[in-house]
């Protein structure tokens, strides 16, 4: 089969030599007394899959249209996590990833899978709707280190919601599909699919509602334990449950059992999709997501109890919320994925992802040391704006603040900070006919304009988000101390399905003459509420 192979030289061009940050997140699950409380990540970490390599655990997550893609986290105890790297630097297979001739919203990495084999890390994912509603591609990335460099192979095959599996004889397979599940064997060099897929589960309806209906099983991950093949997969959509299939052969026949069915921690939304990992002492744990609406798909950690040869999650399929930490043999320091960035180094923190591919010539951390400079790119609105820099909003409630120097804005420029999804809202400084104003825009409509002096040409903008009513409120300051509410409330939504709201920094221009304008961002700081 023909395929496209793309060598990625490391995540250097998009974010520079991305460095970790030591700033703490508002939420940490570690109670400090040997227990933890779910969720372990109170932000958008959908479709988690997890492995152990030596004494280290690695988790990968879906990232859709955000760049770099396929975020990989690292932990010593499955509770305290930090960023390790990204498997995809950027997407160059379609100009729409550059927001040219359209966009690729929701079409980046889906349902990531991670495995380690013969000294190498492998991350796979699917990209739906490649050039039509019923088309897609499968990608497999490989590296010796999660920090890269990574090699990405793009297959012509559409392996939906893939689960990569290496058998004991060294053969590699991908489990994929929705409703009816299939196995595809990979070539020895892992660069193509061998033969046709084999259907191993095809039950579009079952007398037990838990296994049938429109929301068929998907997001499969396979394990071989004590000579048997185990396949875990969610069913029932975001309100669903976790199913396990079991067989003596990879091709079946399979028997089944529901191993988790609990939505008590967030009524209406069950613990849904994830992966299983074994500790060095033999214990098993499961990381599984739960949809928390516009805040994101948060990650939960569940103990596994083997009952009659089945891996039951939590307390016999129910979540107790607080558990004793995994027995890894050593107490680990409290860590969380970074949030804050003072923009004082030559690289952005790993918490940042761009909306689609950035234009590397129109942003800089070195033109003015201590600031991130965003040169204005032409766009009609924020949806089309290149070099929009984002990171996850945090639950249950959090507040993001930026300081921006707007001295170099030009006519048509819109430079600011907001909460991005569909709908989106922001506070920005605009310039028209040489006059600058502060505006609040909600879903593309300006709802308040303020004519305010900006001493030293600086503005501070703050956004507060909460999961109580999925709302975001906005404030501005001209001195960095006194903040004033502005505009109205954003009712955070999910117009881009399966992708949470994000904090967003941007500078675009509606006037092509304004492309020589720029905004300097001094810092981003996130605090709990």
What are the residue numbers of the active site? 47, 218
Q: Which residues contact 2 (CB under 8 A, 6 or more apart)?
A: 156
Structure tokens at 172: 């590699």
Say if residues 109 and 49 touch (Cβ distance below 8 Å).
no
Q: Which residues pair with 223 in a beta bridge?
A: 230
**φ, ψ for residue 51 (rounded to 5)?**
-140, 165
Q: Where are the beta strands (DSSP E) in 144-270?
A: 151-155, 163-166, 172-176, 180-186, 193-202, 221-225, 228-235, 241-247, 255-260
SS3 211: helix
Say if CB 128 and CB 65 are below 8 A apart: no
What tokens appear for 343 in the block? 């923009």
User: Are β-strands 377-378 and 502-509 bridged in parallel, bridged antiparallel, or unpaired?
Assistant: parallel
Question: Which residue(s) pair with 464 in the sheet?
Answer: 399, 473
Q: Do 136 and 130 form a contact (C-beta atoms < 8 A)?
A: yes
Q: Give the angle 8-13-17 at the CA atoms, nearest 5°.
A: 95
Per DSSP (E only), the strands in 406-517 are 413-420, 425-432, 435-442, 445-450, 458-466, 471-477, 484-485, 490-491, 502-509
DSSP state of 79: S
Residue that is written with structure tokens 């505009």 in the block: 487
Contact 504, 388 (CB under 8 A): yes
The total number of residues written for the chain in this structure: 529
Q: How far apart are CA 128 and CA 133, in angstroms?
A: 8
The CA-CA-CA angle for residues 166, 81, 71, to 5°, reads 60
For residue 180, give the 3-state DSSP assignment: strand
Q: Is 457 strand, coil or helix?
A: helix
- Tell which residue, 112, 177, 189, has the closest CA to residue 146: 112
Number of neighbours of residue 332 by Cβ within 10 angstroms: 14
| Strands laid side by side in the 284-291 sheet | 271-278, 284-291, 297-307, 310-313
Nearest Cα to 494, choosing from 297, 337, 356?
297
* Three-state secondary-structure class, residue 406: coil
- Identify the bridge partners of residue 36 per DSSP, sorted by sequence position: 30, 323
Q: 103 in helix, strand or coil?
A: coil
C-alpha span between 270 and 264 (Å, rounded): 8
């Amino acid at each position: 089969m023909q395929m496209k192979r793309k060598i990625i030289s490391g995540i250097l061009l998009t974010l520079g030599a991305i460095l970790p940050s030591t700033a703490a997140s508002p939420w940490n699950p570690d109670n400090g007394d040997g227990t933890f409380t779910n969720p372990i990540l109170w932000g958008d970490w959908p479709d988690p899959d997890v492995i152990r390599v030596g004494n280290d655990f690695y988790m990968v997550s879906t990232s859709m249209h955000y760049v770099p893609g396929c975020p990989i986290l690292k932990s010593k105890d499955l509770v305290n996590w930090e960023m390790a790297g990204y498997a995809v630097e950027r997407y160059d297979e379609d100009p729409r990833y550059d927001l040219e001739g359209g966009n690729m919203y929701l079409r980046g990495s889906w349902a990531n899978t991670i495995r380690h084999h013969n000294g190498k890390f492998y991350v796979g994912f699917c990209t739906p709707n490649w050039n039509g509603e019923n088309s897609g591609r499968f990608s497999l990335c490989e590296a010796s280190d999660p920090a890269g460099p990574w090699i990405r192979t793009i297959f012509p095959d559409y392996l939906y919601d893939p689960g990569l599996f290496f058998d004991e004889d060294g053969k590699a397979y991908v489990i994929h599909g929705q409703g009816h599940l299939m196995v595809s064997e990979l070539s020895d060099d892992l660069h193509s699919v061998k033969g046709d897929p084999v259907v191993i589960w095809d039950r579009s309806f079952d007398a037990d509602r838990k296994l049938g209906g429109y929301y068929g099983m998907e997001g499969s991950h396979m394990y071989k334990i004590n000579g048997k093949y185990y396949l875990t997969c969610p069913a029932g959509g975001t309100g669903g449950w976790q199913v396990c299939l079991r067989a003596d052969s990879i091709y079946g026949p399979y028997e089944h059992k529901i191993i988790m069915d609990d939505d008590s921690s967030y009524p209406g939304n069950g613990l849904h999709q994830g992966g299983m990992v074994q500790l060095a002492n033999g214990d098993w744990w499961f990381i599984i997501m739960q949809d928390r609406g516009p805040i994101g798909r948060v990650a939960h950690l569940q103990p596994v109890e083997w009952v009659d040869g089945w891996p039951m999650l939590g307390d016999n399929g129910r979540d107790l919320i607080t558990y004793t930490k995994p027995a890894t043999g050593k107490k680990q320091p409290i860590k969380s994925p970074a949030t804050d960035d003072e923009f004082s180094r030559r690289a952005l923190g790993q918490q940042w992802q761009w909306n689609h591919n950035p234009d590397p010539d129109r942003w800089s951390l070195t033109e003015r040391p201590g600031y991130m400079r965003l040169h204005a790119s032409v766009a009609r609105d924020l949806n089309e704006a290149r070099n929009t820099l984002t990171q996850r909003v945090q639950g249950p409630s959090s507040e993001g603040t930026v300081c921006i120097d707007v001295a170099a804005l030009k006519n048509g420029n819109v430079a600011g900070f907001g909460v991005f999804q569909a709908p989106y809202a922001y506070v920005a400084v605009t310039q028209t006919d040489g006059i600058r104003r502060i505006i609040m825009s909600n879903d593309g409509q300006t709802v308040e304009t303020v004519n305010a002096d900006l001493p030293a040409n600086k503005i501070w903008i703050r956004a507060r988000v909460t999961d109580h009513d999925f709302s975001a409120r906005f404030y501005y300051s001209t001195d960095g101390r006194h903040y004033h509410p502005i505009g109205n409330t954003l009712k955070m939504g999910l117009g881009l399905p399966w992708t949470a709201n994000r904090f967003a920094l941007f500078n675009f221009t509606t006037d092509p003459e304004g492309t020589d304008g720029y905004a300097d961002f001094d810092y981003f700081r996130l605090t709990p509420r």
